[in-house]
């Protein structure tokens, strides 16, 4: 009976925290977002290709110009209607339409003129299916910890969208906002997956120390290399955002460096803490000095492979930009 009461009390506390956090995020997200482009009279709608009215394929198999297609709209004020749309021949915008293909349509109205253009393939279902399969496999293979890992992923996404971005839009420095968000993510993730244990406390403290070290290193390197934070691509759009909001654009680069180090820091901290906890559990008589030396040895091994992982991730991201 006592255990049941304690479980209900703990459940009530958790629900209260969740509801309180949800209300806080709702209120905190009441911010004015700067409008980057004029979207008046333009909307994005889902549609399905019905027929290819005019194709753009040439005799040699190449495609030049636009396709003219008829599509059935499935969203917006014209849902259910069949309309005619142009499909540009582009790599980034437009696609090669086929009957039955799901696409995204740009609906543009200028006065009495109403123009429909195929923006791209509608990838909503494949993306949702892939994410769903990933979360299901994570829960099935990982069991209870897999479910907690899935919850941690959702929590991380919520922190980025509903906490970090509103903070910088309210004028809080991106560096400070990144430290706060990173600390909350690593604390919640580690405690959610491993519970309130000594191993978790060690991992959280070491991760927090690693995050602060990364922040200091980024600032020192930026000063030494004369990085102002404006040495990034698409800086013109970022400057426009900074001029129309309270965002300190120059600090976004350093916030990105901090977030990039978060995963690696948590990974190493949890690996070392778990290894030392298992060693202490099976050999409880080992002195702290031996456990510390063992932790340093494990940490060096993990750091070696982690450095390679980070380099490979950097090259992979570079190739991704080249491909885009």
Interval 239-290: pLDDT, tens: 666 666 667 776 777 787 778 777 778 888 888 888 888 888 888 888 888 8
Alpha carbon distance 141, 128 (integer Å): 20
Report the share of the chain in percent with pLDDT over 70: 84
pLDDT surpassing 80 at residue 322: no
Instruction: Answer yes or no: is pLDDT of 7 > 80.
Output: no
Of 186, 149, 158, the closest CA to residue 270 belongs to 186
Q: Which segment of 6-20, 67-81, 200-214, 275-289 scores lowest on mean pLDDT?
A: 6-20
305-314 own/partner pairs: CB under 8 Å, 24+ apart: 306/264, 306/267, 306/268, 309/264, 310/264
Give the tens place of pLDDT for each residue, 177-236: 888 888 888 888 888 777 777 888 888 888 888 888 877 887 787 777 776 666 666 666
Considering the chain, what is the average pLDDT of its residues? 79
Q: Give pLDDT, residue 36.
A: 58
pLDDT > 60? residue 156: yes
- Interval 79-95 mean pLDDT: 82
Q: From 120, 132, 110, 150, select the one nearest 49 (Cα to Cα).
A: 120
CA quadruple 287, 186, 216, 218: dihedral sign: positive
Task: Confirm whether pTM is higher than 0.85.
Answer: no
pLDDT the model gives residue 4: 66
Alpha-carbon distance 187 to 205, whole Å?
9
């Amino acid at each position: 009976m006592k255990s049941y009461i304690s479980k209900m009390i703990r459940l009530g506390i958790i629900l209260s925290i969740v509801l309180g956090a949800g209300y806080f995020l709702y209120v905190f997200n009441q911010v004015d977002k700067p409008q980057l482009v004029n979207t008046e009279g333009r909307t994005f709608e889902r549609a399905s290709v019905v027929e290819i009215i005019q194709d753009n394929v040439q005799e040699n198999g190449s495609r030049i110009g636009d396709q003219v297609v008829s599509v059935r709209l499935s969203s917006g004020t014209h849902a259910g209607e069949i309309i005619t749309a142009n499909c540009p021949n582009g790599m980034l915008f437009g696609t090669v339409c086929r009957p039955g293909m799901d696409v995204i349509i740009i609906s543009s109205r200028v006065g009495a003129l109403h123009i429909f253009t195929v923006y791209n393939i509608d990838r909503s279902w494949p993306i949702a299916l892939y994410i769903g399969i990933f979360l299901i496999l994570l829960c099935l293979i990982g069991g209870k910890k897999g479910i907690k890992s899935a919850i941690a992923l959702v929590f991380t996404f919520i922190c980025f969208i509903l906490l970090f971005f509103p903070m910088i839009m309210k004028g809080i420095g991106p560096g400070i906002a990144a430290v706060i968000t990173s600390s909350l993510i690593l604390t919640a993730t580690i405690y959610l997956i491993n519970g309130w244990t000594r191993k978790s406390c060690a991992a959280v403290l070491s991760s927090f120390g690693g995050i602060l070290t990364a922040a200091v290193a980024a600032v020192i390197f930026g000063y030494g290399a004369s990085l102002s934070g404006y040495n990034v691509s698409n800086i013109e759009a970022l400057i426009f955002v900074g001029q129309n909001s309270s965002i300190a654009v120059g600090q976004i680069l350093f916030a990105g460096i901090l977030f990039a180090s978060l995963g690696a820091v948590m990974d190493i901290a949890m690996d070392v803490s778990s290894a030392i906890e298992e060693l202490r559990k099976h050999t409880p008589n080992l002195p702290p000095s031996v456990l510390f030396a063992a932790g340093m040895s494990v940490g060096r091994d993990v750091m070696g492979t982690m450095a390679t992982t980070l380099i490979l991730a950097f090259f992979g991201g570079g190739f991704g930009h080249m491909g885009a």
